[in-house]
Homo-oligomer: A and B are copies of this chain.
Amino acid sequence: MTKTEEIAQIREEFIEKIGVIAQGEGLPRIAGRVLATLVYDGQRVSFGELANGLGVSRGSISSSVRLLEERQIIKRVAKAGDRQDYFEVAEDAFINLIETSAVRARRACKDIAGTIEKLPQSETGPHSRLKTYANFYDVIDAALVDAAKQMRDRK
């Protein structure tokens, strides 16, 4: 195996690996592989290259990049003299990745708070236990916000 082939295989493994990790985080596997491709390559990659390179339909690429764009994890860019869309990792990709998780924790916290409010004063037991539960999500939220801040400072 030539050195070039070897590197290509390492790249491939990395992309697949991130695909699996993404799946574990509730993202479609292809979205993870798209992100991994962009991270690894470090420069704009065309729509067609993504479809061919990952061996998936253009429809799949379309929906994956839409998801990643919405979350501001990747961005669509142009290339002079090429009609194709190109993509690259967004500026604050990792920060936004964390932010998404933080938002979810915040939402869970609010959800529980909503139940607590509805609860009659008499229900002291459930009240205090749900409070602990809500606090749990609040702590996670704060930790993630802090993590995002750290990522931001690191730049």
Contacts and interface: CB of A to CB of B under 8 A. Distances in A.
Contacts of A104: 24
A73 B147 CA distance: 25
B13 A115 contact: yes
A94 interface: yes
Given A147-B139, A151-B136, A39 B108 contact: no
A111 B14 CA distance: 9
Copies of this chain, complex-wide, total 2
Contact of A140 (B98, B111, B123): B98
A11 B126 contact: yes
The binding surface of chain A is classed by DSSP as: helix
A10 interface: yes
Q: How large is the interface on A (under 10, 10 to 19, 20 to 34, 35 or more residues)?
A: 35 or more
Given A120-B3, A126-B42, A111 B21 contact: yes
A94 B135 CA distance: 10
B10 A119 contact: yes
A21 B108 contact: yes
Interface of A: 3, 6-7, 10-11, 13-14, 17-18, 21, 24-26, 39-42, 94, 97-98, 104, 108, 111-112, 115, 118-120, 123, 125-126, 129-130, 132-133, 135-136, 139-140, 142-144, 146-147, 150-151, 154
